[in-house]
Structure 1
Amino acid sequence: MFHYKLYYFDVRGSAEPIRMLFALAGEKFEDYRVNDEEWTTMKAKMPNGRMPVLEINGLQIAQSASILRYLAEKFGYTGKTLIEKAQVDACYEEFRDFRYEIHRFITVLRGKRPGDVKEAYLKWYVPAKKRLFNFLEIMLRKNGTGFLVGDSVTYADLVIAEYMNVLFRERPNELDAFPEV
């Protein structure tokens, strides 16, 4: 029997799709929410000094993508065929590229980098958003099931749905031009 313990801060963030996988699979896990004070002492004990970290019977796995892929494979949320699995990975990697591309905008938005927020939005966020959302539109329209790949939910659906949930709360009209998404 496996004992799963997920370490992350008391926010949704990159741990939320992991939590969603556990819920979908009906698997019990310890959802350990780390506060800032605890983190200063725990950081050195984490494999890469960051979170999320999934502990399985004492073995630690770092990096949200590694955790997601491991659990998705174990619980059956990677796609049903090798082709579907490759397509799911492609969807997830497109999303990771998008997150990388908008990082400069996010740093301006949060005041960690000098610059005009509107200018940064137009320069970095809008082109990345159009590329990702157009890709998702094509995948969803072509698949026709409401899922990115195949006829059931995958870890890529969860990661992207979590981001869209946050985006929709912050900017509800952002998805107007992308009805499939």
Structure 2
Amino acid sequence: MSKYKLTYMNFRARAEAARMLFFMKGVEFEDIIIEDGTWLDVKHTFPLGQIPVLEVDDVIITQTRPLTRYLGREFGYYGETNLEAAQIDSIMDVCDDIHVAAQPIYKYDGAGMAGEFDAKKYEVENAEVLKEYREVIVPGFLSQLQTLFLMNKNDDGYFVGKEITIADLYYFATFDYVEIYKKDMFAGFPKMAALYKKIMAHDKVAEYLKKTDYGNNPMDQYK
């Protein structure tokens, strides 16, 4: 059995799908948390100066999607065929684009999440980019994801096939993050809202959400 070590901060977002995979498969891992205000002190110790990072025995895997896909393959959540894996990849890539598009409004300076966060001031200072994100960017990406969902002709299942895959977990983790900025994120997309609720209601996902407590993120005040 391999030894796993996952390093990220004490909130959801980029490492969430990987953490969920460990829980759902029942595989133990060392959950290393970078404490608030310490990132700049340790950033240089990571190969690309980025997290999350997954260590498998003595091998380091960087970047969110590669490490999530690795765990998906290892734990059996990456579809049943190469074709399904390709469909899963398409969905994950769209979700990753959503994270990238959020960067202009998520002004994390690397100094940590210490200090007080003034949600009203943030809203005023970033009104234009927040408006574009809420009214244009998020609906645009949801339209793409809905297109992929419908293309897969899988109304009664998940994104790909009848069983939950890393595509669903990545989607769920992504929109758990999006909700910080847009509470009515699924407005106009009932199928996407239903899929999100279906994933959340999955027995292992629901258990995971009850048992974990990631979220010491000042941005949570913004919800």
Q: What is the CA distance between 1:134 and its match in structure 2?
A: 1.7
Partner of 2:140: 131
Map Cα deviations across residues 76-113 of structure 1 (whole Å, 9 max, x no partner): 11111111111110011112223333433445x9x89x
Q: Relative CO higher for 1 or 2, CA cutoff 8 Å, sep ≥ 6? A: 2
Would you say 1:144 and 2:147 are equivalent positions?
Answer: no
Q: What is the CA distance between 1:11 and its match in structure 2?
A: 1.6
- Write the letter of the residue equivalent to 1:145: D
Instruction: Provide the C-alpha distance between the structure 1 equivalents of 2:19 and 2:136, rounded to a whole number of angstroms.
Output: 30
Instruction: Provide the C-alpha distance between the structure 1 equivalents of 2:102 and 2:53, rounded to a whole number of angstroms.
Output: 24
With over 3 angstroms needed to count, the CA separation of the structure-2 counterparts of 1:39 and 1:168, relative to structure 1, is: closer
Q: What is the CA distance between 1:168 and its match in structure 2?
A: 4.1
Aligned mate of 1:121, from 130, 133, 136:
130
Given that residues 53 and 60 in structure 1 are in contact (C-alpha distance below 8 angstroms), is that contact kept between their aligned partners in structure 2?
Answer: yes
Given that residues 52 and 63 in structure 2 are in contact (C-alpha distance below 8 angstroms), is that contact kept between their aligned partners in structure 1?
Answer: yes
SS, match of residue 177 in structure 1: coil
Instruction: Provide the C-alpha distance between the structure 1 equivalents of 2:89 and 2:67, rounded to a whole number of angstroms.
Output: 14
Higher helix share: 1
- Write the letter of the residue equivalent to 1:164: F
Partner of 1:6: 6
SS, match of residue 84 in structure 1: helix
Instruction: Provide the C-alpha distance between the structure 1 equivalents of 2:12 and 2:126, rounded to a whole number of angstroms.
Output: 28
Using the size of structure 1 for normalisation, the TM-score is 0.83
* Segment of structure 1 superposing worse, 89-98 or 166-175: 166-175
Q: Which residues of structure 2 form unaligned runs of 5+?
A: 108-118, 193-223
Aligned mate of 1:172, from 161, 183, 186:
183
Given that residues 13 and 176 in structure 2 are in contact (C-alpha distance below 8 angstroms), is that contact kept between their aligned partners in structure 1?
Answer: no
Given that residues 21 and 71 in structure 2 are in contact (C-alpha distance below 8 angstroms), is that contact kept between their aligned partners in structure 1?
Answer: yes
Partner of 1:71: 71
Instruction: Provide the C-alpha distance between the structure 2 equivalents of 1:75 and 1:147, rounded to a whole number of angstroms.
Output: 18
Number of aligned residues: 178
Given that residues 68 and 155 in structure 1 are in contact (C-alpha distance below 8 angstroms), is that contact kept between their aligned partners in structure 2?
Answer: yes
**How many percent identity over aligned positions?**
30
Q: Which residues of structure 1 form unaligned runs of 5+?
A: none
With over 3 angstroms needed to count, the CA separation of the structure-2 counterparts of 1:176 and 1:91, relative to structure 1, is: same
Instruction: Provide the C-alpha distance between the structure 1 equivalents of 2:86 and 2:140, rounded to a whole number of angstroms.
Output: 20
Q: What is the CA distance between 1:26 and its match in structure 2?
A: 1.2
Using the size of structure 2 for normalisation, the TM-score is 0.69
With over 3 angstroms needed to count, the CA separation of the structure-2 counterparts of 1:37 and 1:167, relative to structure 1, is: closer
* Segment of structure 1 superposing worse, 141-150 or 8-17: 141-150
SS, match of residue 49 in structure 2: coil
Q: Report 1:73-88 matches (<5 A).
A: 73-88=73-88
Map Cα deviations across residues 29-75 of structure 1 (whole Å, 9 max, x no partner): 11011214654453222111111111111221111111101111111
